[in-house]
Amino acid sequence: MTPTVRTFDVLVVGGGPAGMTAATTVRRHGGSVALIDENSDGGGQVYRPQPRGFAPAGKPSAEQRVGDRLRNALASSGADTFFEHKVWSVAPGFRVDAVGPHGPVALAAPRLVAATGTSERVIPFPGWTTPGVIGLAAATILLKAQRMLPGHATLVAGCGPLLIAVAAGIVKGGGRVAAVVDIASRGEWLGRLPALVSRPDLLARGMRWMATLQAAGVPILRRHAIREVRETSSGLDAVVGPVDPDGAPRSGETRSFTVDSVTVGNGLTPASDVSRVLRAKHRYECVKGGWVAETDDCGRTSVAGLYVVGDGAGIAGAAAAEHHGAVAGIAALHDLGRLDMTVFRHEAERMGAKLDRAGRFGRAMAGMMAIRAAQVAAIPRDTLVCRCEDVTCAEIEQAVDDGAREVNQVKAWTRCGMGPCQGRTCGDVVAEIVARRVGGREAAGYFTGRLPLRPVSLQAVVGDYVYADIPIPKAAPL
Amino acid sequence: MSSVAANDDDARAGAHGLRIGAAPRGRQVSFLFDGRPVTAYEGESIAGALACAGIRTLRASPRSGAPRGMFCMMGSCQECVVRIDGRIAPACQEPVREGLDVRSGTIGNGP
């Protein structure tokens, strides 16, 4: 049966800090709002709550406290929430279709706030599809929200602050970290210090993580990256080697670690599925993590009524996301004519200042996670790049050599990016491979946004129906 | 090339004890993965519970038939897709429940 369409002033897709605050803000100023998220509660990745049924593990962390504050504010705001709902369609105007535990749901509003966060970028290496190799973000979810170790002995590799967060979490959880493999030099980290002191609490937490690793005797290999992971009879053999500042492999001693788990992440890319589907204008910004919707200070995009906030608008971190959501919430109401100019200006200024301050730390971290010029060139040619469709780097390069001029042609010719993940996993890397041959990321483009945003079965979309209820169209005149 | 081997006993995938700490989890439940009983605790995801049971290969890839398992843990990559009571879903986003019949998500492994 076609679901009844429920109408609101504002729809919010995504229940992380940006989405939760956007919804709460709209309610606070008297608007009606629905928030949709596929997880079982608000929080997103950084403020992800403990599963229901788990007893609290000691004192709540700072992240849990912020998450609880945002969740409580949302719950008491009177916003309609649709958790455990996968959004599979967004349509202009706007309509959002989702499937949840009780079947399909259709929501409509003249304003749509996309707060869909990020995907993790992993630069492929031989063996990265081996079970036991997972993302750094995946490891944080295991540690924080499932209270599980990724393995008994883990190699932690990639870039950015998640490296030491994950490694310290593993050590504190009783696991062994074979090594931390960081593409950055110590000097690059020290260069970020001026921005990092803007959040002394987070800086201090980072120092505690480092102290934990030091006390456990965990080696930290700087300016190194994974070369290869091989499955052996005793687990996984992870080979790491030195790289130059651009991420190109350098000659020098490689080292091999026998572990049972590898967690690796090479930065975050904004999840722009919603704004791409709605055909907003996008711009490539390496330091923001990739292609992002063009937005003004309030998150307004080139599509009237569509706002993009949080890390989905460019990586700036969870603290900034919270204020970004608030700014977009008041802008959406103001644009609807529901908030007078004085209140709007006052609130926008107040939130904007907070956003600026909070963003300093996040943007410094985003800088540490940006893709480097030679990382993708270093991928061995027979390595799988598209995990969904098993497409190799060589096949992608061949397609460009055969005449494909941008990533959508490569997709059509090779099936890369055409699988169930819709290119979320490989998109940034594929574009980088193509960009090297066609003269830049702008020329290489991005995968056109396509529905469904998440794989859903036709049965789930249609829901329960009675065959006799299907309307029979009037026969065409003969 | 120097070799820095971890403790070999610990390094073997599938050893027990990946759950952290003694803090209580949810109620103990049991479900099947490809017919094999798996013990888990309410609140855990199917992917997490399978990893703790040493089960990492959740399906074969469509073209090369290579083993695949959980990767992003947040419902984005679709690598951990399995069949849960016949329904296709990522194992990382589905909570464990007593008596679930979970099967590997290899295409063609339908009910």
Contact A147 B56 (CB under 8 A): no
Query: Looking at residue A310, what DSSP letter applies?
Result: G
| pLDDT in the model for residue A53 | 80
Rounded Cα distance between B91 and B109, Å, is 16
Rounded Cα distance between A321 and A363, Å, is 11
Whether residue A243 sits in one domain with residue A126: yes
DSSP string, A337-392: T-S-HHHHHHHHHHHHHHHHHHHHHHHHHHHHHS--TTTTTTS-TTSEEETTTTEE
Confidence class for position B16, pLDDT limits 50, 70, 90: very low
Cα-based distances in Å from A263 to A161, A207, A452: 14, 21, 29
Nearest residue on chain A to B13, judged by CA atoms?
Answer: A260
Judge residue A233's burial from the number of C-beta atoms within 10 Å of its C-beta, 0-12 exposed, 13-18 middle, 19 or more buried.
exposed
Q: Is B37 helix (H, G, I), strand (E, B) or coil?
A: strand
DSSP string, A219-287: -EEETEEEEEEEEETTEEEEEEEEB-TTS-B-SS--EEEEESEEEEE--EEE--HHHHHTT--EEEEGG
pLDDT tens readout for residues B24-64: 889 999 999 999 999 999 999 999 999 999 999 999 999 99
Domain of residue A148, CATH code: 3.50.50.60
How far is the first Cα of chain B from the last one, in angstroms, to the nearest whole number? Answer: 48
Confidence class for position B111, pLDDT limits 50, 70, 90: low
H or E segment and range at residue A442: helix A441-444
Q: Is residue A195 part of a domain?
A: yes
User: Given a cut of 60, is residue B4 above it in pLDDT?
Assistant: no
- In sign, the C-alpha dihedral spanning B51, B5, A210, A254 is negative
Q: Is residue A373 part of a domain?
A: no
Report whether A259 contacts A178 (CB < 8 A). yes
- Chain A interface includes B60 (CB < 8 A): no
Structural domains of chain B, ranges and CATH numbers in brackets: 27-104 (3.10.20.440)
Whether residue A222 sits in one domain with residue A163: yes
Domain that holds residue A435: 384-444
Whether residue A296 sits in one domain with residue A309: yes
| pLDDT in the model for residue A319 | 93
Of B48, B58, B95, the CB nearest to A148: B48
* Nearest Cα to Cα of residue A179 among A195, A155, A162: A155
Residue at a domain's end among A368, A401, A417:
A368
Q: Is residue A375 part of a domain?
A: no
Report whether A35 contacts A20 (CB < 8 A). yes
Whether residue A329 sits in one domain with residue A242: no
Name the β-bridge partners of B3. Answer: A256
How many domains would you assign to chain A? 3
Residue ranges of A 75-134 with Cβ closer than 8 A to chain B = 86, 119-120, 129-134
User: Given a cut of 70, is residue A19 above it in pLDDT?
Assistant: yes
Whether residue A104 sits in one domain with residue A25: yes
- Chain A interface includes B53 (CB < 8 A): no
Looking at this predicted complex, what is its ipTM? 0.93
Whether residue A339 sits in one domain with residue A285: yes
Residue ranges of A 366-405 with Cβ closer than 8 A to chain B = 387-390
Nearest residue on chain B to A460, judged by CA atoms?
Answer: B87
pLDDT tens readout for residues A199-216: 899 899 999 999 999 999
Contacts of B15 in chain A (CB under 8 A): 152, 260
Whether residue A317 sits in one domain with residue A431: no
Q: Is residue A467 part of a domain?
A: no
Angle between helices A136-145 and A162-172 (to 10 degrees): 40
Q: Is residue A399 part of a domain?
A: yes
Q: How many CB atoms lie within 10 A of CB A416?
A: 30
Task: Read off the pTM.
Answer: 0.94
Strands A33-36 and A80-82: parallel
Q: Is residue A328 part of a domain?
A: yes
| pLDDT above 90 coverage of chain A, percent | 85
Whether residue A172 sits in one domain with residue A81: no
Count how many residues are written for chain A. 478
Whether residue A261 sits in one domain with residue A131: yes
**Closest CA–CA distance from residue A181 to any residue of chain B (Å):** 14
pLDDT tens readout for residues A422-446: 999 999 999 999 999 999 999 999 9
Contact A57 B10 (CB under 8 A): no
Q: Is residue A449 part of a domain?
A: no
Of A236, A389, A425, the CB nearest to B62: A389
Whether residue A241 sits in one domain with residue A154: yes
Q: Is A320 helix (H, G, I), strand (E, B) or coil?
A: helix
Q: Is residue A427 part of a domain?
A: yes
Whether residue A226 sits in one domain with residue A128: yes
